[in-house]
Amino acid sequence: MRLALALVSGLLALSSLTPLRAHAPGESSLFIARDEEALELRLVITLPSAAALLGPEQTPPLAADTFDKHRPALVAAASQGLLLREAAGSALKPERVIASFRNAHEVHLDFFFPPSSRPAGLSLPLLSRLGREAMCDVTDLRVTPPARHLLQPGALEVQLAP
């Protein structure tokens, strides 16, 4: 609960600087926050981007009324599409991933890692599934001032402050 409140407070404080939503297919936002309970990464993507993660074989198509049916496949795709690594190069695995339908345009993917996690690098291979124009605005709320990075095809990894 504290993490959720801290994340919301941080997001509200940055609302004038950072878009809190995905605007167009292939465009997304990622927020990184930590408290004593977990390291949390929240990926905000559009509904068409979420559908692209599932692939063209999805039946019925991803929509508000079919989201619950597709949730397990979306969590599985997202789990493989976001990678954190430590300075030594070992991968950090999320303890859980939650997919939620926020409104007619957005899907939130929340990744929870142990609070002791110290990621040194972040990559989003899932962006390559969203097309050549895909991009992700990353905001690291663990540092002051918040660090911002842009991930896009050809630059799918960024270095993070410890």
- pLDDT the model gives residue 13: 42
| pLDDT one-digit tens code per residue, 25-52 | 668 999 999 999 999 999 999 998 899 8
Contact 79, 41 (CB under 8 A): no
Please give the structure tokens belonging to residue 31: 């927020």
Q: Torsion angle, CA of 4/134/87/117, rounded to 10 degrees?
A: 20
Handedness of CA 32, 149, 17, 42 (dihedral sign): negative
125 preceded by cis ω (within 30°)? no
| pLDDT one-digit tens code per residue, 98-141 | 999 988 789 999 999 999 999 999 998 888 888 778 899 999 99
70-74, 86-90, 155-159, range with the lowest pLDDT: 155-159
- pLDDT the model gives residue 104: 78
* For residue 5, pLDDT beyond 50: no
Q: What is the pTM of this model?
A: 0.83
